[in-house]
């Protein structure tokens, strides 16, 4: 028997967003890696995200009737709350799955994800300790999989919000001729994994600085240059991007002490002054004050864009969830069961 | 008295320098004659025209999983898989449950092999008790009960002092020591080859250096102690260099094998988090493959093996980091060798067969792997041109975890004969 669904007329805000969208769709169904994102996708995401940002917490009805499960198999504060609020501000129903659930009882993550998928949810947001879990899960679900960070691999929505923050700062469509310096635990960072891919797409000059113990093999093939002296990397930088030294990922032992790391690579006022006058400081959070970033710079300094990143995160995730769930072209992803 | 005539095939018997069309006549399980147009009357005749007749293949590196993990594989299923691959003799690794660190397990393996009467299974014993790398097993007892070698495969002896004593003791007992070369402190949690691919996938890498350093260590200790050392599943350019140098220095006590996947596939197979391509040693990058092939060509490599490592599906349906290591190989090793070495003309078919027959037989000191008059009639007959796509559903092995699934290979066993008895005939096991 056919079900009867009626659609409410669009509000003025929704009509505005639809005008910005111009009937466009993303080229991908799941987002597991920045490698999937085309320049057109990026343009669409940012057009929509900027407009969503203007409407702050306004509740849009675009995704009404659709559900989302936030499956965070690893603890998270900002990413999980940001995805949850973004979905709710699009009128989605959400549920959360945390790390201490069936996966710990011995169920395979694939079975867990396929179980969630059977709720007929539209999106499953996955954070995993191991690399590749969202990418593999995406092959076996009807729901769109959004990678909220997998192991040391990628954290694509973080890179998307960082890209928006950088482009807005530079008032440009790309980062050509701009210097981005990434400092910190490159090896264990999924933020780096996505950011470096996005920055190459945006044509930025990317410099990385950290002890070699925190630099992965063949990293230069991403088109980045390593600097052992952070001061040399910072000279003439437009963006200074500090990464946390992630002790819970086994990074301990890669540096003698946090004290020495902070002395050699921590972003202080003096070091930030080596960058361009209008350079901005970014950090994906959580900031370990006085280790990655000098405390005085962390949130209050006018050059620090760390809280602006968080705000952009809301807008970018809202844009992504709308575009993924509410497709104009009616196309559906293909998947198999395992 | 039973007789068998294999007529008109292209016989390749590297040990005896045979490489041409000939008949093979078998009487009472032994080779009676090899020659053109043999007139002997036989109870059974195989028309081998257009096919290649070789000694049965000998695989020095197989995980039969029995005793202990019969859900993954048994002597029976692995033996049938071996027959389907033209393999008539295989060396069993000792990392079973219980571990083959005592004669009881070795005798059990030999008894199972005799009872099954499918292929020849040669047990190995563990170097150290529980493969823990600390206390030596009763190596002489292992040898006397039938172990052809000792090895801590899958673990490796990390401590140089223990390894040195193991080699001295092995030499005293006159037993071969086979080393799985891995420096655990460098491998750490590595799950694939460390390089550009692991960096893109965000997976912990296992550096080539981990193997290189262990190979150097093993070679130096073998040169010092004079022990018979066989280096297993070499996969790096550094290993090739170290072994080549040692052989050049005149180290006659050192031999080396390569598992066929390590000259065929690169670490790119891991893209998309393909756990079927997860194994130890890991699939390496192209530069290592090039070095391995150079080592095969110049004689640095003595033998080809499978490192057949069957697993149940759930162990591979995990996150890449948590999935089991290993690929099956018994049913594909000849085809992989033929496809990736012979067809691209890196080596001749005769050279490839030599590294899968007489050369491995020499390494473990058994009188097999050749078709001399009076030798055991262990024979494989291949269609070297047959093209086929690897389909795990057709495997006789319980392990469906092949890194070659979906790949097109050339060459397949048509008949496999053990002790003069046809055990495999065009896809069917005759038990």
Task: List, for residues B359-412, the tens digit of each pLDDT value.
Answer: 999 999 999 999 999 999 999 999 999 999 999 999 999 999 999 999 999 999
Which residues of A fall within a CB distance of 8 Å from B269? none
Q: Does the distance separating the beta carbons of B202 and A193 come in below 8 Å?
A: yes
**How many angstroms away from the CA of B285 is the closest CA of chain A?**
12
Strands B408-418 and A225-227: unpaired
Cα angle: A111, vertex A115, A118; to 5 degrees: 140
Which residues of chain B neighbour A213 with C-beta distances below 8 Å? none
Terminal CA-CA length for chain A: 30
Selection from B283, B261, B260 nearest residue B270 by Cα: B283
The domain segmentation of chain B, as residue ranges, is 3-53+377-387+409-429, 57-364
A221:B207 CB<8 A: no
Q: Does B220 touch chain A (CB under 8 A)?
A: no
Residue written as tokens 């495969």?
A: B153
Could you give the C-alpha distances from B430 to A155, B3, B57, B84, B415, in angstroms and in order? 55, 17, 18, 11, 10
**Which pair of structure tokens corresponds to residue A157?**
């929505």
Residue A286: predicted pLDDT: 84
Q: Does B320 touch chain A (CB under 8 A)?
A: yes
For the CA atoms of A111, A116, A117, A120, the dihedral, rounded to the nearest 10 degrees, stands at: 150
- Mean model confidence pLDDT for chain B: 97
For residue B277, the distance in angstroms to the closest alpha carbon of chain A comes to 14
Q: How does pLDDT run across B320-342, given as a tens digit for each residue?
A: 999 999 999 999 999 999 999 99
Taking contacts as CB-CB distances below 8 angstroms, the residues of chain B near A131 are 201-203, 273, 319-321
What is the architecture, at CATH level 2, of domain B57-364? Alpha-Beta Barrel (3.20)
pLDDT given for residue A293 in this prediction: 84
In CATH, the number for domain B3-53+377-387+409-429 is 2.30.40.10
- Which residue in A has a C-alpha nearest to residue B206's C-alpha? A217
User: In this complex, do B199 and A132 lie within 8 Å of one another by their Cβ atoms?
Assistant: no
* Residues β-bridged to residue B381: B53, B415
Out of A130, A154, A218, name the one closest to residue B319 (CB): A130
Task: Decide if A110 touches B, using CB distance below 8 A.
Answer: yes
Q: CB A153 to CB B203 under 8 A?
A: yes
Whether residues B319 and A218 touch (CB distance < 8 A) is answered with no
CB B320 to CB A109 under 8 A?
no
Beta-sheet strands, E only, within chain A: 67-72, 93-97, 123-128, 144-150, 179-183, 205-209, 225-227, 239-242, 280-282
CB contact under 8 A, B321 and A128: no
Cβ of residue B198 closer than 8 Å to a chain A Cβ: yes
pLDDT tens digits, B402-416: 999 999 999 999 999
Q: Is B202 on the interface with A (CB under 8 A)?
A: yes
**ipTM for the whole complex:** 0.94
Give B201's contacts in chain A (Cβ within 8 Å): 131-132, 153
pLDDT in tens, A314-338: 999 999 999 999 999 999 999 998 8
| Interface size between A and B, measured as CB pairs under 8 A | 63
Contact A150/B202, CB-based, under 8 Å?
Answer: yes
pLDDT digits (tens, 9 = 90+) for B100-137: 999 999 999 999 999 999 999 999 999 999 999 999 99
Hey, of B199, B209, B266, B268, which one would you mutate to test binding to chain A, going by the most A CBs within 10 A of its CB? B199
Chosen from B185, B187, B198, B200 to mutate, greatest number of chain A CBs within 10 A: B200
DSSP A23: T
Which residues of B are marked as active site? 307
Contact status, residue A155 vs residue A244, Cβ threshold 8 Å: no
Residue A102 pLDDT: 66
Residues of chain A with pLDDT under 70: 1, 99-103, 246-252, 299-300
Nearest to B23 by CA among B12, B34, B39: B34
Region B51-79: what's the mean pLDDT?
A: 98
Burial-class residue A253 by CB neighbours within 10 Å (0-12, 13-18, 19+).
Answer: exposed
Inter-chain touch B198–A154, beta carbons under 8 Å: no
């Amino acid at each position: 028997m056919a079900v009867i669904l009626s659609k409410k007329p669009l509000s003025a805000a929704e009509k505005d967003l639809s005008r910005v969208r111009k009937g466009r769709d993303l080229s991908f169904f799941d987002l597991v890696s920045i490698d999937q994102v085309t320049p057109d996708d990026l343009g669409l995401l940012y057009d929509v995200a900027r407009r969503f940002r203007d409407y702050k917490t306004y509740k849009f009805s675009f995704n009404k009737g659709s559900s989302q499960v936030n499956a965070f198999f690893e603890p998270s504060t900002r990413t999980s709350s940001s995805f949850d609020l973004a979905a709710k501000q699009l009128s989605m129903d959400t549920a959360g799955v945390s790390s201490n659930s069936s996966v710990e009882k011995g169920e395979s993550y694939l079975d867990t994800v396929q179980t969630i998928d059977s709720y007929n949810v539209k999106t499953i947001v996955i954070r995993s300790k191991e690399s590749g879990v969202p990418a593999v899960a995406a092959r076996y679900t009807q729901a769109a999989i959004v990678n909220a960070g997998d192991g040391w691999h990628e954290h694509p929505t973080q890179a998307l919000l960082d890209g928006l923050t950088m482009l807005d700062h530079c008032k440009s469509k790309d980062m050509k001729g701009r210097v981005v310096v990434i400092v910190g635990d490159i090896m264990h960072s999924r933020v780096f994994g996505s950011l470096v891919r996005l920055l190459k797409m945006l044509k930025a000059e990317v410099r990385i600085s950290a002890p070699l113990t925190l630099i992965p093999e063949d990293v230069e093939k991403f088109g980045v240059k390593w600097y052992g002296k952070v001061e040399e990397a910072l000279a003439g930088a437009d963006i200074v991007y500090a990464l946390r030294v992630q002790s819970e990922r086994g990074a301990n032992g890669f540096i003698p002490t946090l004290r020495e790391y902070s002395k050699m690579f921590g972003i202080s006022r003096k070091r930030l002054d080596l960058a361009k006058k209008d350079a901005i400081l970014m950090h994906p959070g959580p900031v370990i004050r006085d280790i990655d970033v000098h405390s005085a710079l962390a949130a209050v300094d006018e050059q620090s864009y760390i809280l602006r990143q968080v705000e952009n995160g809301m807008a970018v995730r809202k844009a992504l969830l709308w575009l993924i769930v509410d497709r104009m072209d009616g196309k559906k992803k293909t998947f198999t069961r395992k | 008295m039973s007789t068998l005539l294999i007529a008109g095939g292209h016989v390749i018997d590297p040990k005896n320098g045979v490489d041409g069309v000939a008949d093979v006549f078998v009487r009472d399980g032994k080779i009676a004659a090899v020659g053109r147009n043999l007139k002997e009357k036989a109870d059974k005749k195989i028309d081998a025209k257009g096919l290649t007749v070789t000694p049965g293949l000998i695989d020095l590196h197989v995980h039969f999983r029995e005793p202990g993990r019969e859900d993954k594989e048994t002597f029976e299923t692995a033996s049938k898989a071996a027959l389907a691959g033209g393999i008539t003799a295989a060396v069993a690794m000792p990392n079973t449950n219980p571990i083959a660190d005592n004669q009881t397990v070795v005798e059990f393996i030999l008894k199972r092999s005799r009872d099954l009467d499918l292929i020849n299974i040669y047990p190995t014993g563990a170097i150290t008790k529980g493969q823990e790398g600390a206390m030596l097993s009763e190596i002489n007892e292992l040898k006397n009960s039938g172990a052809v070698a000792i090895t801590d495969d899958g673990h490796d002896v990390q401590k140089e002092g223990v390894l040195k004593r193991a080699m001295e003791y092995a030499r005293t007992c006159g037993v071969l020591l086979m080393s799985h070369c891995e420096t655990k402190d460098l491998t750490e949690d590595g799950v694939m080859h460390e390089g550009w691919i692991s960096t893109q996938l965000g997976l912990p890498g296992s550096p080539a250096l981990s193997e290189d350093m262990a190979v150097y260590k093993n070679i130096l200790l073998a040169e010092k102690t004079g022990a018979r050392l066989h280096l297993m599943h070499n996969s790096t350019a550094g290993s090739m260099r170290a072994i080549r140098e040692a052989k050049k220095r005149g180290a006659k006590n050192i031999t080396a094998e390569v598992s066929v996947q390590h000259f065929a596939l690169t670490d790119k197979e891991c893209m998309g988090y393909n756990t079927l391509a997860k194994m130890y040693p890991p699939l390496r990058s192209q530069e290592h493959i090039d070095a391995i092939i150079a080592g095969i060509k110049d004689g640095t490599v003595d033998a080809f093996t499978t490192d057949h490592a069957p697993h149940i599906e759930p162990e591979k349906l995990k996150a890449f980091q948590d999935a089991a290591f290993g690929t099956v190989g018994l049913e594909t090793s000849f085809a992989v060798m033929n496809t990736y070495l012979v067809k691209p003309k890196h080596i001749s078919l005769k050279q490839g067969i030599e590294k899968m027959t007489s050369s491995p037989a020499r390494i473990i000191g058994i009188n097999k792997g050749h078709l001399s008059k009076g030798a055991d009639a262990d024979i494989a007959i291949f269609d070297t041109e047959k093209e086929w796509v690897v389909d795990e559903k057709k495997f006789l092995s319980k392990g469906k975890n092949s890194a070659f699934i979906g790949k097109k290979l050339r060459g397949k066993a048509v008949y496999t004969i053990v002790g003069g008895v046809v055990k495999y005939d065009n896809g069917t096991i005759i038990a």
